[in-house]
């Protein structure tokens, strides 16, 4: 099994260059319709393969897997089937948009942008309940790590807990609320017909709360990297509400304030990288380029050049490069096309002979 290390956008660029907004001339329903057409993937993995990828690579941290609602963690067994291993230790898959509300079959069931690892009992208790803010005095059950209690936790640690009001609603812990909101808006946008057919009343009552959660818990680098890693396996389609974090303000949430698009500048999560990015720019012909420095031999290289809608406009590959500095340049024949005149994302994938794969996305203005 390949092991992926997911890396952030170049920090300097993220600090000085705002992300190009999707469909900048649209807002409201016109924008929502455009997003639905552009970001519904043309292919997804099977549900079993999606879970294995999430547990084995994308959501795995230092050989551990954590419940998004409680931060309860398990140690994964090297070489074991990821889904079976996780299930035997109390973790399964949460459909943020419930199966019974339109995610029972097909693409909606296995689209990873709304799937997360969760503890079995917490997942079962949430069931198909809507999300909502729950007053502490009416909360029936609290969840944190392996703790499940009916007693109200102390104020100092209360935000670490997820909450249940039986048969009414579920409130995730503070650190996951924004992720929930952006996953829910994604599903409602790209799978609207399936959601309406299952229960037309399920989502509208949650919109105001989810808008608040998006504002209170903005996108961080790990969520951004997760969306990009998932897109690798879903027709290059990111969750647009993660990549353009002010998109919700222009569509579903006009009353929220503008939020910072990256709230964490953590770069490599402690991974000792065999490469670095020393610069970006444009050639005299206008072709985007990235300067890449390799500190190890025998690395294979693939680069997807993406426009700001996540569409692939060019591709570069090299086999078994040696140490040194290289200029990765987008093919000149497409460099001046309409898609490449704006900012371009170079999605770099390097692999070594042991099977480790390193991913990094770099913005070229």
Q: Give the start-to-end residue ranges of the domains of the chain.
A: 23-250, 275-364
The residue ranking higher by pLDDT, 74 or 364, is 74
How does residue 235 score in pLDDT terms, banded at 50, 70 and 90? very high
pLDDT of residue 132: 98
Q: Which tokens hold the place of 16?
A: 């000085």
pLDDT of residue 338: 58
| pLDDT over 60 (residue 3) | no
Mean pLDDT, residues 120-139:
98
pLDDT of residue 274: 79
CB atoms closer than 10 angstroms to residue 89 = 16
For residues 240 and 53, what is the distance between their CA atoms, to the nearest angstrom? Answer: 21
Using CA of residue 35, residue 37, residue 39, residue 45, what is the dihedral sign?
positive
Average pLDDT over all residues of the chain: 86
* Total-model pTM: 0.73
Using CA of residue 321, residue 326, residue 327, residue 328, what is the dihedral sign?
positive
3 state DSSP class of 177: helix
Q: Check if CATH label 2.60.40.2550 holds for domain 275-364.
A: yes
| pLDDT over 60 (residue 271) | no
pLDDT of residue 328: 87
Strands of the chain (E only): list them: 3-7, 64-66, 73-75, 91-95, 115-119, 141-144, 147-149, 162-165, 169-171, 275-282, 288-294, 299-306, 312-321, 324-329, 344-351, 356-364
Strands of 26-161 (E only): list them: 64-66, 73-75, 91-95, 115-119, 141-144, 147-149
Specify whether the CB–CB gap between 189 and 39 falls below 8 A. yes
């Amino acid at each position: 099994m390949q092991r992926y290390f997911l890396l952030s956008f170049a920090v300097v660029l993220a600090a000085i260059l705002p992300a190009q907004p999707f469909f900048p001339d649209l807002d409201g329903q016109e924008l929502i319709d455009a997003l639905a057409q552009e970001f519904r993937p043309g292919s997804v993995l099977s549900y079993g393969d999606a879970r294995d990828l999430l547990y084995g690579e994308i959501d795995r941290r230092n050989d551990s897997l954590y419940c998004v609602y409680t931060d309860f963690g398990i140690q994964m067994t090297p070489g074991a089937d990821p889904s079976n291993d996780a299930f035997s230790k109390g973790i399964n898959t949460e459909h943020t948009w419930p199966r019974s509300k339109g995610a029972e079959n097909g693409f909606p069931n296995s689209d990873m942008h709304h799937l997360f690892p969760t503890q079995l009992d917490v997942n079962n208790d949430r069931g198909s309940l809507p999300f909502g803010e729950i007053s502490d005095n009416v909360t029936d059950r609290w969840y944190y790590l392996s703790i499940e209690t009916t007693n109200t936790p102390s104020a100092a640690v209360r935000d670490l807990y997820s909450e249940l009001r039986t048969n009414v609603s579920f409130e995730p812990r503070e650190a996951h609320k924004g992720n929930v909101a952006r996953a829910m808006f994604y599903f409602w946008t790209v799978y609207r017909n399936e959601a309406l057919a299952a229960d037309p009343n399920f989502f509208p009552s949650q919109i105001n709360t989810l808008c608040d959660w998006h504002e209170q818990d903005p996108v961080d680098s790990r969520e951004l990297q997760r969306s990009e890693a998932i897109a690798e396996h879903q027709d290059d389609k990111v969750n647009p509400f993660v990549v353009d974090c002010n998109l919700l303000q222009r569509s579903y949430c006009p009353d929220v304030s503008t939020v910072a698009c990256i709230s964490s500048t953590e770069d490599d999560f402690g991974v000792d990288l065999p490469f670095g990015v020393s610069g970006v720019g444009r050639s005299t012909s206008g072709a985007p380029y990235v300067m890449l420095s390799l500190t190890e031999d025998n690395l294979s290289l693939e680069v997807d050049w993406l426009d700001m809608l996540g569409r692939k406009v060019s591709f570069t590959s090299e086999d078994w490069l040696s140490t040194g500095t290289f200029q990765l340049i987008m093919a000149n024949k497409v460099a001046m096309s309409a898609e490449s005149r704006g900012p371009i994302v170079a999605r770099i994938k390097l692999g070594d002979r042991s099977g480790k794969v390193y991913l990094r996305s770099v913005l070229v203005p």
